[in-house]
Structure 1
């Protein structure tokens, strides 16, 4: 008999079909479906598949007495109550490593687009405005890049940034002994040093509004912010004010506090480059994420440790 799986995040039809070969699937990607499914079938659920922004609460776990495995697609797990799961002996895993390259690619794309003003230049062409009527867009190469959070994604970003001859430094909870980049023990000092600041830190209460007015002012009027981490890390209102007042030059964002609603404060700002939380989405990365989940689940039900435990 197939184990019962509750899926709480959106999935493509092809991946639902792939997963359904190993599981009896309860698919509940909306808040209403989620509440109804857990209320009606909580006692049947053995596995939950979710993502960091969607999460799983302790109260929901309490309605699933047979739950033994929670898996997050992708690296994020900030809204999964890990402590509650551990107290119950529930195994928790994530998709670490499956979309790091894709996210890093997107981060560099946002950086290039924001610094060079690529979306605005495209609009100018459509309006018949030629380059002689436009300000010179800054170069990206040979500037200073600060990375906030030098985990696996942060290191992938650094690897790509090196190809642009960027000087790289970072801030994280502790020094990494496996890199040669300069370490700043203060985010404020990193922002003062950097021309560009890329946020790649985990979400959650510990990093909420880590990027605030003080950090944005330290980055300065020529500075550019990129966030591919979690929307909660950046104070949206303070960022909007900094962009409107040109206290920073531009921002490139893939994640927002308002998700899945668009960030109203940023929508009409010409110096904000926005994408709809797709940095980790590509056919290759999503396929790999689903494959890792299935591998972890197979190992779990065979009594073996999962490959990416939390």
Structure 2
């Protein structure tokens, strides 16, 4: 008797996660699966569950897999899943909440400090034989105000780091619970007006798409640093470029983009005031294991509830 199938939209899964899924046959879609590849595998194998690593899950994929009962994200963001379609079809959607919190918070810290300390620029200058000590000054973060948009597992982890750096921490999240004492809960307008650094840690929804737009930047403190380790769709990329050109935004550290992989050429390419990384904030050895285990446990738990 064949085992029910779990489809993974990636080329691998942590061994600990594989062991959790021992009662299922695991089918992998490959390193960079296209929508057509995943659709074909859904049609061929009719999986009981899907672990989403790369790409997205559409209503069409759900329709060609009538046995599908759960879609489990290998991470925390579920915006690449058609959740309305899943709800209509009685398919559970789960995320490995907090599994990559440490990794992403550390990456936000790396981007913030790289921006404030001009690490990339000075690295290039020093490698080229220049010695800019007498002519260049960087920014000190101690005593500055950071505004966090989103206070989930990642946002709160980053808040703790910033508090330890003697930064004043403001947070905007109407859904957050148990906000720590060192975070001052404020409205979004206060984040704009008071923050020297703004860091995004919220999910992408239809309501907050391109939240950081021309009007948003117009209300920010001049010279603000923008950090995004959440979702690229939260930022109007053209508006950000204009804000950097005008000096409203001094630097941006970005790990996610409206379209991924980034289009080449991209309007951000070559801009020395923008530090770019390829949505790699949550990609560490530890997070890889944690996310795989979290995703696998969610699959097993959902299927146990159903049966």
Q: Which residue of 2 aligns with 1:192?
A: 193
- Shift in Å, 1:278: 0.5
What does residue 30 of structure 1 align with?
34
Structure 1 stretch displaced more, 223-232 or 165-174: 165-174
For this pair of structures, how many residues does the alignment match? Answer: 300
Q: Counterpart in 2 of 1:41?
A: 44
Q: Which moved more, 1:244-253 or 1:195-204?
A: 244-253
Checking the alignment, whether the CA contact within 8 Å between 1:256 and 1:262 is kept in structure 2 is no
Deviation at 1:142, TM superposition (A): 1.0
| 1:27–1:132 CA distance, 2 compared to 1 (3 A) | closer
Shift of 1:12: 4.0
Q: For 1:152-191, list aligned pairs within 5 A.
A: 152-174=153-175, 176-180=177-181, 181-185=183-187, 187-191=188-192
CA-based RMSD of the aligned residues comes to 2.4
- Which runs of 5 or more structure 1 residues have no equivalent in the other structure? 306-310
CA separation in 2, counterparts of 1:206 and 1:15? Answer: 38
Distance 2:41 2:234 in 1: 31
Structure 2 residue runs of 5 or longer lacking an equivalent are none
Residue 145 to residue 118, structure 1, CA distance change in 2 (3 Å):
same
Please name the residue that 2:90 is paired with. Answer: 89
Moved more, 244-253 or 291-300: 291-300
Report how far residue 18 of structure 1 moved.
3.5
- Bigger mean CA deviation after superposition, 211-220 or 92-101: 211-220
TM-score by length of 2: 0.89
Partners of 1:91 and 1:234 in 2: how far apart?
Answer: 29
* Partner residue, 2:132: 131
Q: CA deviation at 1:291?
A: 1.4
Q: Map of 1:251-262 to 2, 5 A cutoff?
A: 251-262=252-263
Using structure 1 for the length normalisation, give the TM-score.
0.89
In the alignment, does 2:102 pair up with 1:98? no
